[in-house]
Amino acid sequence: MRFDIAVIGGGPGGTAAAEAAARRGRNVVLFERDLLGGTCLNRGCVPTKALIHSAEAYALLREGAVAGIEAADVHHDLAAMHARKEQVVTALREGLAKQMKARKVTVVEGEAKLAGPGTVTCNGETYEVDDIIIATGSAPRVPPIPGADLPGVITSDDILEGEAIDYESLVIIGGGVIGMECAGIYNALGCKVTVVEMCDRILPLMDREVSQRLARACKRRGVDIQTKARVCGIEAGGGVLRVSYTDKKGVDQVVEAQGVLIATGRGAMTEGLLADDGMLGVERGAVVTDEQGLTDMPHVWAIGDVRAGTVQLAHVAAAQGRNVVAAICGEPAPLDESCIPSCVYTTPEIATVGLSEDEAKAQGIAVRCAKQLTGANAKSLIEGAEGGYVKLVAAEDDLRILGAQLVCPRATDIISELAVAVSRGMTAGELAGVIHPHPTVSEMVFDAAEMLLP
């Protein structure tokens, strides 16, 4: 069979690439060995947020007295929460299948293999193509911890795709985005959660003040956070799992729980992809490409989590998919990959884009910063938000917005405005020159921008 473009992997990057190519009149085949939508839709971003929504709704009812609401006999049903999550996922997956069909993308279910330049095999069939886009994504990375294979030790895939387990206690190894979002879900449901993180703070890749704010909020809600902690092993006995670790003072500790979640990051998924080892350049298991996404094999491209050096975010994969298709078609990249917003769906929500104050200073850039607190924002107070802020980082000379860090309600929605500002080189004056509606959390952007003005 002959096609213009083959896409291996039907996640957010692969489907975005397939749609973009088909829209340009290319004949496209899309291979997916599991479920259309990939990790993000089926066992990642979407199901996590669906469960977070349910858990937050439950917590809101339990704490309704603050808002003058008395609710008796409030309880949660985790199985029902998972059923609703599946409804959302199924609806989106079916919509995605219809979109591929409408664009006349040929979708093949099966494990595709790169057999060489211009050749893909799947289900015993050979496909001859002009260009190949690898979009196989990533999988949970489990470190070599003794006992990591014990029953009851799980990954985020198990939580989001497997049977609903209503833990009374849970140890989460890893305080990154996945770990902290899962901590928020189970803490809201009344589970005793302990987070064990090897670095000196949770969310170690984000601004230090952001990490500190979330840590304080989590601790107020009863989450036990252990940082600078090195896990030594996991043992089972007496109906519980015991996680042994060395704490920040070098003292051996043991914490018991009904379950253990390993959330120590994800690794590129290349297993079964290549007909022969050494066909493509790899770095720590991820496919090496140039800035456009082209591998060292002619007409073979890589996007998303499988691509070395890529930030593992669904919207980054989708952007790379669209940009690679543009490159194949001899067009300029439509999306700016240098400006990437990052979101954490905890309580409070967290979102960042561009440079932090420390990053700007490390690059020798003189900056002026302004911070507007949630305590001065009407909508945040109405919603009972915990302490948070909107912080803008601007260049000292011309007040161009270089970055923003948000810890507040609706942060994950508001960040888009600031991504536009950073990407387009807008100034604080231009931001402050736009009327923001009242009462909204977005007013904090206006207020912070106004604070930057002379």
Q: Mind telling me the catalytic residues?
A: 438
CA–CA separation, 406 and 349 (whole Å): 8
Length of the chain: 454
* Cβ within 8 Å of residue 346, ≥6 positions away: 180, 181, 183, 184, 214, 217, 218
Q: Are 349 and 412 in contact (CB under 8 A)?
A: yes
